Structures are given as structure tokens and as C-alpha cells.
């Protein structure tokens, strides 16, 4: 692919907006629906927003860091962008699909590229029953919450919760407790990517729980199902020297 038509989107920050203006003057700005690639200018948070925004297009998305962390971003550089896009390596990811049912009986569906997390809404810990493919694996987890993370998301909130980093291509997802009180020694589990994880909230009236899929929050849930959405595919582009698989692998050896 020649990448002649490039669409640029930018976070609402001074560095990102300045970069947008410079790149537009140099390369123009194609309609995202007709572009060969979409270039996102910002940090990891904006990259997630861009992936959600254009998930239906299936257009390759290439991030350039104009934010802070930049784990999902390439280094910022203006010259020879079409050549960089041609050399870039593609990583394909599948998001998680969350189906959450509330105490009032409403059902909410959302996609998560990083993780689906369940979080206590009050000062009291939540009580969760965890099922995997319909079988009860944890009858009562007492904790601040729990999460299910994709490999790409395993270095984000999952890592902060002391969850296992999952390399790209392993066909696994991470199930991790958040500040577990009982059982204290349980650190979570690695599950096949085709598994269906179900959280049933115990004593939901007294101990309300919210479910969050990336940017979508549903409060007062009583049941949450999480599975990989194989029908949705994200296409990310990375410079060869900024290989995502290598970065996730290297993250496991950080002191």
C-alpha cells in the first residue's frame, strides 16, 4: 500500500494540535472513511479513543506520541511519513465485549480494548462470584473489584493491580483481582481468549458495583459477562524498532 491518503486526528492539547497543523500543511488531511491510514497524535488515552471511534472502518491506525506515556504510540517525526507507514508492522487485536445487567433489569453492551473492570461504588468491598464458561471458579471474591484484560491492556490497569502481563499472540487474557481481601493469596488467572467470564454481584443492594469497559461505565450492575469479540479487529501500525510485541515482552523484565 502506498499510503497516499492519510487522515490525521489529534488530541485537544497544545503539542498535539501544533503537530496536526504541521502535518496537514505537509500531507493534507484525507477523509478518514477513505484514507489508507489514520494517524493519531496524542498519548495512549487518545489512541484508545481513536481506536474506538474508527473501529468499524478497519483502517490501519498509526499513533505518534504527542502525549505522556506513549506505550501504544510511535515516536513523533514529520518527514517521510508515507515511507514510515509502508515500513510499519501491523498488529491485529480483538477487543473484549462486555454485557452488563443492572439491578433495574437494563442491559448495556460496550467494547473494551484494554480491560473490563468491576469496581466497588462505596466504602464497602464488593462480593463477586466468578464463573468461567458457566462453571463457578471463585464462589466469593471479597475485594475492591476485579478486571479482565486483553494482552494490549495487560500492561495498563492490570499491571498496576499486580496482574500478569500477557504477550501478544499467546491467545490468553488476564483475570485479576483488585485489592483482594479474601482470598488474600489469589493473584488471578490466565484464561483462554475464547473463555466467557461471568461476574455475579453478591449483596448488590448493600455493596453496589460499577462495570467499566475502557470509557463506558455502568453503575449498579448485578451481572457482567465478558468475552473476546472476534468479529471486531483493530489494525495498529508500529515502526519496526517500536514493535508492540517486543515492548510488552520487555515490560516483564522492568525492575
Grid coordinates given for 97: 465485549
Cα separations in angstroms, 115 against 111, 156, 166, 174, 214: 9, 9, 12, 9, 6
What φ, ψ does residue 190 adopt, rounded to 5°?
A: -100, 130
What φ, ψ does residue 199 adopt, rounded to 5°?
A: -110, 125
What residues are labeled active site?
44
CA distance 154 to 98: 17
Helix extents (H) in the chain: 14-27, 44-53, 81-87, 157-160, 244-251
Q: To which H or E segment does residue 196 belong? A: none
CA distance 107 to 119: 18
CA distance 26 to 40: 16
Q: How far is CA 197 from the centre of its chain?
A: 17
Among residues 253, 193, 188, the alpha carbon closest in space to that of 227 is found at 193
CA distance 63 to 76: 9
Amino acid at each position: 500500500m502506498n499510503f497516499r491518503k492519510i487522515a490525521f486526528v489529534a488530541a485537544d492539547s497544545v503539542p498535539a494540535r501544533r503537530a496536526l497543523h504541521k502535518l496537514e500543511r505537509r500531507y493534507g488531511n484525507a477523509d478518514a472513511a477513505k484514507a489508507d491510514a489514520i494517524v493519531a497524535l496524542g498519548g495512549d488515552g487518545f489512541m484508545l479513543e481513536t481506536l474506538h471511534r474508527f473501529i468499524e472502518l478497519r483502517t490501519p491506525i498509526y499513533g505518534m506520541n504527542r502525549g505522556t506515556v506513549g506505550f501504544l504510540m510511535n515516536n513523533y517525526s514529520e518527514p517521510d511519513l508515507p515511507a514510515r507507514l509502508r515500513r510499519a508492522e501491523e498488529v491485529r487485536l480483538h477487543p473484549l465485549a462486555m454485557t452488563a445487567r443492572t439491578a433495574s433489569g437494563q442491559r448495556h453492551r460496550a467494547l473494551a480494548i484494554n480491560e473490563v473492570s468491576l469496581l466497588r461504588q462505596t466504602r464497602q468491598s464488593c462480593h463477586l462470584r466468578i464463573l468461567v464458561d458457566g462453571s463457578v471458579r471463585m464462589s466469593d471474591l471479597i475485594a475492591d473489584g476485579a478486571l479482565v484484560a486483553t494482552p494490549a491492556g495487560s500492561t495498563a490497569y492490570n499491571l498496576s493491580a499486580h496482574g500478569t502481563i500477557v504477550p501478544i499472540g499467546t491467545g490468553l487474557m488476564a483475570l485479576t483481582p483488585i485489592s483482594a481481601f479474601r482470598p488474600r493469596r489469589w493473584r488471578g488467572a490466565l484464561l483462554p481468549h475464547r473463555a466467557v467470564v461471568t461476574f455475579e454481584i453478591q449483596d448488590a443492594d448493600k455493596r453496589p458495583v460499577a462495570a467499566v469497559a475502557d470509557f463506558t461505565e455502568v453503575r449498579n450492575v448485578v451481572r457482567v459477562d465478558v468475552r473476546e469479540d472476534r468479529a471486531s479487529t483493530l489494525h495498529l501500525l508500529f515502526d519496526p524498532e517500536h514493535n508492540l510485541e517486543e515492548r510488552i515482552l520487555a515490560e516483564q523484565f522492568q525492575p
